[in-house]
Structure 1
Amino acid sequence: MEADSTGGNMRGKPDVEMADNPLEPYVEFLRQQLEDQDPVFLIGVIVALAVVIITCVFLKYFLSSKTVRSAVLLVGLCDSGKTLLFSRLLSGKFKRTQTSITDSSAPYKAKSDRGSTWTLIDLPGHDSLRCQYLEKFKSAARAIVFVVDSAIFQKEVRDVSEFLYDLLTDAVISRNAPAMIVVCNKQDITMAKSAKLIQQQLEKELNTLRVTRSAALSSQDGSVGGSLYLGKKGKDFEFAHLPVKVEFVECSARGSKGDDGEADIKNLEKSLAKL
């Protein structure tokens, strides 16, 4: 009886081990196959698998972290004509406007073969509001349309330059590099400055601001390490020195025939069609 009991236990033991390790035969088979392979072939397989894994991890990180930027921001000083330009781009119609105290947004379909649709956002131009609204939307900007009043540009050149300087040296905007379009509006007015003249004067003002702002930061903490340098060091500032292209276009949101006439915004529409 004892012998039978012992024999029975011995016969049952392999079954228990097999139950505990159901994959053992497959592992052993795989090990044997690997041993029979050429080492150079195995190294190639390992390298290929590593490349696939790294690529998958990279794509997952890239796709999950990528932000879709689909906003076109209309920015500028008060009374530069942003809100009327906003209305003209959307409907083509003239609309009586007043100083904006909040943002307005609507879908805008570009006039191109692709017919891409962007979110057009008109931001307030008052100096006490524009910074907070810019902070809210700048991360989503695919393009920034900076509207300038060409008729009174000489009076506002300093304020225009300071606002533009803040945009061009903003860390988020610099990293995302949205398209930058400077719209020289109100060309229907006789005293309006041309886009070329406005560009030249802005370059001079921004060159001066670059010096004064850098000096101010340096006097505060002894360095300018935390600021973005505008343009190329050792050279007078030019828009051509920027990593992003800045385009200057002329337009008239009101139009030469007054309220009932059509706007002259074709140059701006062409620029938006290229986004």
Structure 2
Amino acid sequence: MEGLEQWKDQLEQLKSQLEPWKNQLEKCLHEAIEYLNQIPPVQLYAAIAVLLISTALLLSIRLFKRAKSNTIILTGLSGSGKTVLFYQLRDGSVHQGTITSMEPNESTIVLNSDSNKKRKSKPVHIVDIPGHSRLRPKLDEFLPRAAGIVFVVDSLEFLPNCRLASEYLYDILTKASVVKKKIPVLICCNKNDKVTAHTKEFIRKQMEKEIDKLRASRSAITAADISNDFTLGVPEEPFTFSQCRNKVTVAESSGLTGEVGQVEQFIWECVKP
């Protein structure tokens, strides 16, 4: 009983100590209500609207950052070595021979270079799009969620395929889904382990020249027949990849020998937290 009485006394003391705070809180609340009553309704509603919009915008930005894409697309002409590169990125091992794909290959991986460099790793969803012209429409299925595009070029047999590769790259660089999102593109000059392979600088310059010709020929297409969403480059100036709205870089690789460090660095830059 004595303990119960002590608890009651302590509660009474606490109540008396909180009484001034209660009075102060009621006073502040009363003043706040009085202040709000003095504000014209139009201004009050406008302030509330601004607050709600700002809150919604901040939440949207946070959700967008949280939902940043981790999808990387491998594409290019048939025979450029996309699928070998895909397996090298996925397994970190060499796959001998020619591998032809008729359906997209997909896999979620952690880059080998992430563990080697002890940097923060993030799962990457790699999609290998078949290079056959009839299967290229599958590219459009994955572009909306792409964080980056690796356009693979056969640097060994580049010259015979220069025009076709440039046309395909032109179509990618002028797609609305690529331009509006400013999706980074890496021109990956594959098979550079061969002695007769062309350098990345040679390939870059030749593709710029070819795309410059394509710009001129396609500018004559009537509005009703335009298949591309955006134009490339600066009018009356020779085309260079630096004129693109999205970042376009060039690198060398060899899927067979495992020289994919530049490709992995590009992928990491696209998906890094």
Report the TM-score, using the length of structure 2 for normalisation: 0.76
Q: What CA deviation, in whole Å up to 9, does each residue of 1:221-251 have, x standing for no partner?
A: 7xx7974110122321111111211110011
Alignment of 1:113-132 (within 5 A): 113-130=119-136, 132=137
The answer to which of 264-273 and 164-173 deviates more is 264-273
Q: Decide whether the 8 Å contact of 1:210 with 1:230 is kept in 2.
A: yes
Runs of 4+ residues deviating >6 angstroms? 60-67
- Tell me the amino acid that sits aligned with residue 192 of structure 1: A
CA shift for structure 1 position 65: 8.3
CA shift for structure 1 position 85: 0.4
Q: Which runs of 5+ in 1 are unaligned?
A: 1-29, 256-262
SS in structure 2 opposite 1:163? helix
CA distance in 2, matches of 1:227, 1:173: 10
Identity of aligned residues (%): 31
Q: Decide whether the 8 Å contact of 1:105 with 1:121 is kept in 2.
A: yes
Q: Does residue 105 of structure 1 match 2:100?
A: no
CA distance in 2, matches of 1:160, 1:36: 66
CA shift for structure 1 position 209: 0.3
Q: Decide whether the 8 Å contact of 2:84 with 2:99 is kept in 1.
A: no
CA shift for structure 1 position 98: 2.4
Q: Decide whether the 8 Å contact of 1:149 with 1:186 is kept in 2.
A: yes
Structure-2 residue corresponding to 1:206: 211
Q: Quick one: higher RCO (CA 8 Å, sep 6+), 1 or 2?
A: 2
Alignment of 1:28-107 (within 5 A): 38-39=38-39, 45-59=44-58, 68-96=68-96, 97-107=98-108
SS in structure 2 opposite 1:94? coil
CA distance in 2, matches of 1:230, 1:199: 16
CA distance in 2, matches of 1:202, 1:160: 8
Cα 1:265–1:60 change in 2 (3 A) is closer
CA distance in 1, matches of 2:110, 2:233: 33
CA shift for structure 1 position 190: 1.8
CA distance in 1, matches of 2:72, 2:187: 13
Q: Decide whether the 8 Å contact of 1:68 with 1:140 is kept in 2.
A: no
CA distance in 1, matches of 2:132, 2:123: 28
Q: Which runs of 5+ in 2 are unaligned?
A: 1-29
Q: Decide whether the 8 Å contact of 1:69 with 1:139 is kept in 2.
A: no
- Tell me the amino acid that sits aligned with residue 82 of structure 2: K
Alignment of 1:1-275 (within 5 A): 38-39=38-39, 45-59=44-58, 68-96=68-96, 97-110=98-111, 111-112=113-114, 113-130=119-136, 132-217=137-222, 227-255=229-257, 263-275=258-270
CA shift for structure 1 position 121: 0.7
Larger radius of gyration: 1
CA shift for structure 1 position 133: 1.0
